[in-house]
């Protein structure tokens, strides 16, 4: 079954400082914020989704 997986859909990571996290992902990695939602398990926590400009598979980062 694992041979059917072609790549990553997204990567999720935890961050304690949203401003530093945003700077790292946008300035250092060159990603763009593509979506802002809330965490379903903790509605007071935002999920900021980042990806490259063309939506390359595996480029999406989701640090809640």
Q: Residue 58 has what pLDDT?
A: 76
The candidate with the shortest Cα–Cα distance to 7, out of 53, 56, 50, is 56
Supply the pLDDT for residue 47. Answer: 81
For residue range 20-60, list pLDDT tens digits in order: 888 988 999 899 988 888 878 778 878 888 898 888 877 88
Kindly state whether residue 57 falls inside one of the protein's structural domains.
yes
State yes or no: pLDDT of 64 exceeds 70: no
CA distances from 28 to 7, 23, 25, 39, 41 (A): 23, 7, 6, 25, 29
Tally of CA atoms within 13 A in the half-sphere of 6 that contains its CB: 2
Residue 1 inside a domain? The answer is no
Say if 11 falls within a structural domain.
yes
Domain span at residue 17 reads 6-62
Higher pLDDT, 8 or 16: 16
Has residue 53 been placed in a domain?
A: yes
- The residue ranking higher by pLDDT, 3 or 48, is 48
Rounded to 5 degrees, φ, ψ at 23 are -60, -45
With residue 35 as reference, give the H or E element that holds it.
strand 32-38
């Amino acid at each position: 079954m694992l041979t059917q997986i072609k790549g990553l859909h997204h990567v999720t990571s935890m961050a304690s400082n949203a401003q530093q996290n945003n700077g790292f992902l946008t300035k250092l990695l060159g990603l763009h914020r593509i979506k802002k939602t809330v965490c379903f398990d903790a509605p007071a926590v935002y999920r900021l989704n980042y990806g490259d400009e063309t939506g390359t598979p595996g480029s999406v980062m989701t640090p809640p």
